[in-house]
Amino acid sequence: MFEAILLTVMTAATPLVIAAMGELVAERSGVLNLGVEGMMIMGAVCAFATAHMTGSPYLGILAGIGGGALFSLLFGFLTLTLVTNQVATGLALTILGLGVSGQLGESFVGLAGTKLQPIVVPVLSDIPFIGRVLFAQDLIFYLSIALIIGVNWFLFRSRTGLKMRAVGDNHGSAHALGINVVRTRYLAVLFGGACAGLAGAQLSLVYTPQWVENMSAGRGWIALALVVFASWRPWRILAGGYLFGAVTIGQLHAQAFGVGIPSQFLSALPYAATIVVLVIISHNRRTTLINTPASLGKPFVPDR
């Protein structure tokens, strides 16, 4: 039974980890994109629609990534080219994504989905307990682990990652050194959108292989909180994602077992946990200020 619960926790945590990793890269470049929820839901509807029409969940994954990336480019054009307010634009992007996805997915409501099947590794998947947990998972789960390793190496071991962090810490100095700040931020925003789209694809192809309007259910906001929770460090996002995934699955099991607590309260637990964690983190202001990209959310115009 514990193995089954752990598997559901991992499935619930995967979209949070992927979306948070994309947002971490964007924020490391100095861009605050509050439109994660909108990009995620667009990825979900694009992935489901493509998989349903083609019968291929892998094409659905690509469509989900493309849907999230396309929406992120809209955000990038508005905030990096037209220099609009990042907070207001991100909120508008979320509202737009929820509306557009509802319109696009209207004809797909109630239709059977195309589930992404797990990749079973022979022999290793038969190992007691860890076999199914580590060697019988879907492609998106493995991509989430690869993302953490890859982003950690990119940010702290590569020259390009160093330049991106320089842009996020002081875009004026980075520009003076010859780094193309706008291009760097465009690429970071595009990567964040692709990750959010992939997270959305996981929701409609793995977590619940069907299309339901607003099925992201606030996970984009939790992913945003995860970035702060992790202090902009990739490996901490893995721990935070699984913590929030455990809270989400825990409240579902509590409702199934008939715990004498109102179901509304249990459903609110993941979001209440998010608030509690952010409050706790805010008390250690010195650590937060040290790790926060200094240019986060600040507009950049080259000729100023």
How do residues 142-162 score in pLDDT, each as one tens digit?
Answer: 999 999 999 999 999 999 999
- CA 266 to centroid of chain Cα atoms: 23
Q: Is the pLDDT of residue 89 over 60?
A: yes
Please state which CATH number belongs to domain 2-291.
1.10.3470
The rounded mean pLDDT for the chain is: 89
Both tokens of 149, joined, read 């390793």
> Which segment of 2-11, 157-166, 259-268 scores lowest on mean pLDDT?
259-268
Whether 208 has a pLDDT exceeding 80, the answer reads yes
Given a cut of 80, whether residue 211 has pLDDT beyond it is: yes
Q: 204: which 2 tokens?
A: 């409609």
| Statement: residue 201 has pLDDT above 70 | yes
Of 87-91, 106-110, 162-166, the range with the lowest mean pLDDT is 106-110
| pLDDT value of residue 3 | 74
Please state the separation of Cα 245 from the chain's center in Å.
Answer: 13
pLDDT of residue 259: 64
Point out the least confidently predicted range of 94-98, 194-198, 297-301.
Answer: 297-301
Lowest-pLDDT range, 104-108, 166-170, 174-178, 272-276? 272-276
Q: How high is the pLDDT of residue 113?
A: 80
Report the distance separating Cα 151 and Cα 227, nearest Å.
Answer: 13
Residues 6+ positions from 36 with CB-CB distance below 8 Å:
19, 22, 23, 94, 192, 196, 220, 221, 223, 224
pLDDT in tens, 266-301: 667 777 777 777 777 666 666 666 678 999 999 998
Give the least confident one: 67-76, 207-216, 251-260. Answer: 251-260
304, pLDDT greater than 70: no
How far apart, in Å, do the first and last CA atoms of the chain sit? 61
pLDDT at 135 over 90: no
Tell me what pLDDT residue 271 has: 73
What pLDDT, on the 0 to 100 scale, is given for residue 301? 87
CA dist 158 to 164, 227, 276, 288, 296, Å? 10, 21, 35, 24, 21
pTM: 0.92
Whole-angstrom Cα distance, residue 226 to residue 212?
Answer: 24
Residue 249 confidence (pLDDT): 80
User: Could you give the CA distance from residue 109 to residue 188 in angstroms, rounded to a whole number?
Assistant: 33
- Give the count of alpha carbons within 13 A of 114, CB side only: 20
CA dist list (Å): 138 to 23, 146, 162, 212: 23, 13, 32, 21
Please report the pLDDT score of residue 24 as a whole number. Answer: 96
Each residue's pLDDT tens digit, 13-39: 999 999 999 999 999 999 999 999 999
Radius of gyration in angstroms for the set of CA atoms belonging to the chain, rounded to a whole number: 19
Residues 229-241: what's their mean pLDDT?
88
DSSP-assigned letters across all residues of the chain: -HHHHHHHHHHHHHHHHHHHHHHHHHHHTT---TTHHHHHHHHHHHHHHHHHHHS-HHHHHHHHHHHHHHHHHHHHIIIIIS---HHHHHHHHHHHHHHHHHHHTGGGTTPPP-----EEPTTGGGSTTHHHHHHEE-HHHHHHHHHHHHHHHHHHHSHHHHHHHHHHH-HHHHHHTT--HHHHHHHHHHHHHHHHHHHHHHIIIIIS-S--TTTTTTHHHHHHHHHHHTTT-HHHHHHHHHHHHHHHHHHHHHHHTT-SS-HHHHHTHHHHHHHHHHHHHHH-HHHHHHHS-TTTT----TT-
Q: Using pLDDT thresholds of 50, 70 and 90, give the confidence band for residue 5.
A: confident
Give residue limits of the domains in the chain.
2-291
pLDDT, average across residues 236-257: 79
60 touches 120 (CB < 8 A)? no
Burial class (CB in 10 A: 0-12, 13-18, 19+), 110: exposed
- Residue 224 pLDDT greater than 70, yes or no: yes
Given a contact cutoff of 8 angstroms between Cβ atoms, the answer to whether 135 and 120 are in contact is yes
d(CA 190, CA 69): 5
